[in-house]
């Protein structure tokens, strides 16, 4: 509790005691025989103790021309009650209004604190090592690029850098949501916000504090609540009209029935006061952004950065999920899966030949053949290879140890009139021929990410009806991957520009609902921007991805897509509950008030009670169960 809140609390306690004393006095008839001026003064004392700040603010605001200020309206409502001789009601209204405000402040403060605690990834200091190898504690903002920092066990990594000495396990959970510690050793990059677990590390900074992962994330989350969802905008607009409409309603209610002779003026004023009490839209204005803020907070705890309430709202309605294949569903690491010699040649020999002739190429396929060869502890001697000729789109021709070798796709062999068997392996197949005779195949494929199939099943279970995969790869290998992980539709052999076109086609088809695109953010930035919601793999601090996307999965785990959809759905449900509930109660009080059934007490209770309940409900968005 802040100082201000404690002060209010003390005032409330004092006035509450006085209020009950007065109630007893009234009921036992003690106040009946004193003149009305004395009675007014007796009630005005506690009223002023509890309400002086409201009256002060109302006076200031009205001098600034703000007629629809809640303080002013509350003051008019209570003055009205005094005017018609309802002293105890006037006091009660002000008292319960303050209690409600205190509750609201407390609940908002609480949820703000729990979000802040969750986001407590900001380092307080950095241990800077100077030229004399002495360590001094400095503000992370004062550290320059290329300086040496020492991170002791239990401390946070303050700034992104590279490890230069020491080996340790670091806890990345604050950034990625991943609970398994990651091992780091010299020459490895290390990101800020992680906690060093077991031994001292020396790192060289590669970024300034303000460009480091931690400050980027904090900035994103803080700015996220500035990007308003449709629902928040609706409430803001609604609030702008609600107060004036209710206030005008109150004025009409106070004046028209007495003029028409339908009721006493004191009665109509009493009913009008009830209108004024419920004229503040605060319950709605607070609880809606609070719910979204909680949802964004719950996501970031799982290592999912949501860059705005509007994106949380959009992902909740996602019906179509489009994924890029390489780097998203698969790891993007090609490796040799099968080596199948044909005729009287063995596996090792086939791989040796392939590695040599492919040794000049930078193609990922060639590289993976080289890697497979080097894994055997051997190294291709490129000096043995001569007359290398790249045949674009087909493969390579070269002379190796006096033989003519062809390595490439099936077409390359057919073009050279070489008889060969078609391989049924998945992935990319390299066909090899020696002196125009087929000697075997090597198949290379990308590895599917762990849990990809489960990720797709989860996404379906949270309501996505159509999962689409886009890839530049061949049809056969694309369809194999799709089948393995459970993807509905595949578009293969696409150029980067085709991906944008495909996504646009799907966006035009409104029946598909909202479309989310998931990519690694490296070469699919245009698609990320075009989709309703762009989800990027964060690759631990890749700036391009974080920049282009609306949602970032910090640890590249596609299983988190289902998590964020679930959190978003829950957040939206909570927010809708709050809107419906608060509006219902307010309208109910207005109707009952107009009919003369509701008392001013009930109105205050209803109004602040709704606000507090809505805030408590919003806080549920924070927990992700």
Partner 1 sequence: MKKTYKCEVDCANCAAKMEDAVKKIPGVNDARVNFMTQKFMLDADEERYDEILEAAVKACKKVEPDCEIEIK
Active-site residue, selected from the candidate residues 324, 473, 557, 563: 324
- Least distance from C-beta 288 to partner 1, angstroms? 9
CA 260 to chain centre: 57
Q: How many residues bind partner 1 (CB under 8 A)?
A: 25
What is each CA distance from 591 to 73, 77, 80, 255, in whole angstroms?
19, 17, 19, 17
Q: Which is nearer to partner 1, 101 or 557 (CB)?
A: 101
Which x/- pattern, by CB under 8 A, does the window 228-247 give for partner 1? --------x--x--------
Distance CA 387, CA 412 (A): 17
Read off the tokens for 314: 């959009």
Q: Which is nearer to partner 1, 116 or 252 (CB)?
A: 116
For 17, residues 6+ apart whose C-beta sits below 8 A from its C-beta are none
By CB under 8 A, what part of segment 523-542 binds partner 1? none
Q: Which is nearer to partner 1, 139 or 222 (CB)?
A: 222
- Least distance from C-beta 4 to partner 1, angstroms? 8
Hey, what long-range contacts does 526-531 have (CB within 8 A, 24 or more apart)?
A: 526/496, 526/500, 527/322, 527/324, 527/470, 527/499, 527/500, 527/503, 530/500, 530/503, 530/504, 531/322, 531/503, 531/507
- Least distance from C-beta 206 to partner 1, angstroms? 25
Q: Which is nearer to partner 1, 46 or 291 (CB)?
A: 291
Please confirm, yes or no, whether 324 is among the known catalytic residues.
yes
Q: Which of 112, 230, 347, 379 binds partner 1 (CB under 8 A)?
A: 112
CB atoms within 10 A of CB 359: 21
CB atoms within 10 A of CB 419: 10
CB atoms within 10 A of CB 345: 16
Is 563 in contact with 321 (CB distance < 8 Å)?
no
Q: Which is nearer to partner 1, 101 or 563 (CB)?
A: 101
Which x/- pattern, by CB under 8 A, does the window 81-110 give for partner 1? --------------------x---x-----
Closest CA to 272 of 594, 612, 520: 594
Q: Which of 124, 139, 141, 222 binds partner 1 (CB under 8 A)?
A: 222
By CB under 8 A, what part of segment 57-86 binds partner 1? 57, 60-61, 64, 66, 70
Stretch of 56-64, 142-150, 333-341, 360-368 contacting partner 1, by CB under 8 A: 56-64
Q: Which is nearer to partner 1, 112 or 230 (CB)?
A: 112
Residue 208 binds partner 1 (CB under 8 A): no
Using only the alpha carbons of the chain, give its radius of gyration. Answer: 35
Alpha-carbon dihedral sign for residues 64, 70, 72, 73: positive
Q: Which is nearer to partner 1, 64 or 625 (CB)?
A: 64
Is 73 in contact with 57 (CB distance < 8 Å)?
no
- Least distance from C-beta 71 to partner 1, angstroms? 10
Q: Which is nearer to partner 1, 2 or 130 (CB)?
A: 2
- Least distance from C-beta 526 to partner 1, angstroms? 27
Distance CA 348, CA 336 (A): 13
Is 169 in contact with 198 (CB distance < 8 Å)?
yes
Q: Which of 78, 212, 225, 330 binds partner 1 (CB under 8 A)?
A: 225
Q: Which of 22, 115, 273, 323 binds partner 1 (CB under 8 A)?
A: 115
- Least distance from C-beta 280 to partner 1, angstroms? 8
- Least distance from C-beta 210 to partner 1, angstroms? 12
Q: Which is nearer to partner 1, 123 or 289 (CB)?
A: 289
Residue 226 binds partner 1 (CB under 8 A): yes
- Least distance from C-beta 68 to partner 1, angstroms? 10
Closest CA to 584 of 612, 606, 615: 606
Provide the residue count of the chain: 625
By CB under 8 A, what part of segment 257-316 binds partner 1? 280-282, 285-286, 289-290, 293
- Least distance from C-beta 281 to partner 1, angstroms? 7
Sheet-wide strand order for 182-184: 182-184, 168-171, 195-196
Q: Which is nearer to partner 1, 179 or 226 (CB)?
A: 226
Stretch of 51-59, 430-438, 471-479, 539-547 contacting partner 1, by CB under 8 A: 51-59
Distance CA 13, CA 254 (A): 33
- Least distance from C-beta 389 to partner 1, angstroms? 57
Distance CA 79, CA 347 (A): 96
As a dihedral over the C-alpha atoms of residue 477, residue 445, residue 560, residue 160, rounded to 10 degrees, the angle is -140
The 3-state DSSP class for residue 252 equals: helix
Distance CA 218, CA 193 (A): 10
Alpha-carbon dihedral sign for residues 174, 178, 184, 187: negative
Residue 403 binds partner 1 (CB under 8 A): no
In which region does residue 444 sit, left (phi positive, over 0), alpha (psi from -120 to 50) or beta (all else)? beta
Q: Catalytic residue positions?
A: 324
What residues line the site for partner 1 (CB under 8 A)? 53, 56-57, 60-61, 64, 66, 70, 101, 105, 112, 115, 222, 225-226, 236, 239, 280-282, 285-286, 289-290, 293
């Amino acid at each position: 509790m802040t100082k201000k809140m404690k002060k209010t609390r003390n005032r409330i306690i004092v006035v509450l005691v006085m209020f009950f004393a007065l109630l007893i006095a009234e009921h036992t008839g003690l106040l009946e025989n004193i003149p009305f001026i004395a009675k007014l003064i007796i009630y005005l004392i506690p009223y002023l103790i509890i309400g002086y700040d409201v009256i002060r603010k109302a006076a200031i605001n009205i001098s600034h021309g703000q007629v629809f200020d809640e303080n002013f309206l509350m003051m008019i409502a209570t003055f009205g009650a005094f005017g018609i001789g309802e002293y105890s009601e006037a006091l009660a209204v002000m008292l319960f209004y303050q209690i409600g405000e205190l509750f609201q402040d407390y609940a908002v403060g609480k949820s703000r604190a729990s979000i802040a605690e969750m986001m407590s990834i900001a380092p307080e200091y950095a241990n800077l090592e100077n030229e004399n190898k002495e360590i001094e504690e400095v503000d992370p903002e004062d550290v320059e690029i290329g300086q040496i920092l020492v991170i002791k066990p239990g401390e946070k990594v303050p700034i992104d850098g590279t490890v230069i000495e020491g080996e340790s396990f670091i806890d990345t959970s604050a950034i990625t949501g991943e609970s398994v510690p990651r091992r780091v050793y010299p020459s490895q990059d290390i990101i800020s916000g992680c906690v060093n677990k077991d031994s001292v590390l020396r790192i060289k900074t590669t970024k300034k504090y303000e460009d480091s992962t931690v400050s980027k994330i904090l900035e994103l989350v803080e700015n996220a609540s500035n990007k308003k969802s449709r629902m928040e905008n609706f409430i803001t607009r609604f609030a702008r009209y609600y107060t004036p409409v209710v206030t005008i309603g109150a004025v009409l209610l106070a004046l028209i029935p007495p003029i028409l002779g339908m009721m006493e003026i004191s009665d109509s004023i009493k009913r009008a006061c009830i209108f004024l009490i419920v004229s503040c839209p605060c319950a709605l204005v607070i609880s809606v952004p609070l719910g979204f803020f909680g949802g964004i907070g719950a996501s970031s705890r799982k290592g999912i950065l949501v860059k705005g309430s509007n994106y949380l709202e959009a992902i909740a309605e996602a019906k179509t999920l489009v994924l890029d294949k390489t780097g998203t569903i698969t790891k993007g690491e090609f490796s040799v899966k099968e080596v199948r010699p044909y005729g009287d040649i063995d596996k090792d020999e086939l791989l040796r030949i392939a590695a040599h002739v492919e040794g000049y190429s930078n193609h990922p396929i060639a590289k993976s053949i080289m890697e497979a060869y080097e894994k055997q502890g051997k190294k291709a001697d490129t000096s043995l290879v001569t007359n290398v000729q790249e045949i674009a789109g087909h493969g390579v021709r070269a002379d190796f140890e006096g033989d003519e070798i062809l390595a490439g796709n099936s077409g390359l062999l057919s073009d050279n009139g070489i008889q060969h068997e078609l391989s049924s392996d998945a992935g990319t197949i390299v066909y090899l021929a020696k002196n125009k005779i087929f000697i075997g195949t090597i198949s290379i494929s990308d590895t599917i990410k762990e849990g990809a199939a489960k990720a797709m099943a989860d996404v379906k279970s949270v309501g996505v009806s159509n999962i689409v995969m886009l890839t530049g790869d061949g049809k056969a290998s694309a369809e194999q991957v799709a089948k393995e992980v459970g993807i509905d539709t595949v578009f293969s052999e696409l150029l980067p520009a085709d991906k944008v076109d495909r996504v646009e086609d799907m966006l035009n088809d409104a029946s598909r609902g909202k479309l989310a695109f998931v990519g690694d953010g490296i070469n699919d930035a245009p698609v990320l921007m075009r989709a309703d919601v762009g989800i990027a793999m964060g690759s631990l601090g890749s700036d391009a991805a974080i920049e282009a996307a609306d949602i970032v999965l910090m640890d590249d785990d596609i299983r988190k897509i289902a998590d964020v959809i679930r959190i978003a759905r829950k957040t939206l449900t909570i927010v809708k509950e709050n809107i419906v509930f608060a509006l219902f109660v307010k309208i109910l009080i207005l109707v009952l008030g107009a009919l003369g059934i509701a008392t001013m007490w009930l109105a205050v209770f209803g109004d602040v009670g709704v606000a507090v309940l809505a805030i408590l409900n919003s806080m549920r968005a924070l927990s992700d169960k």
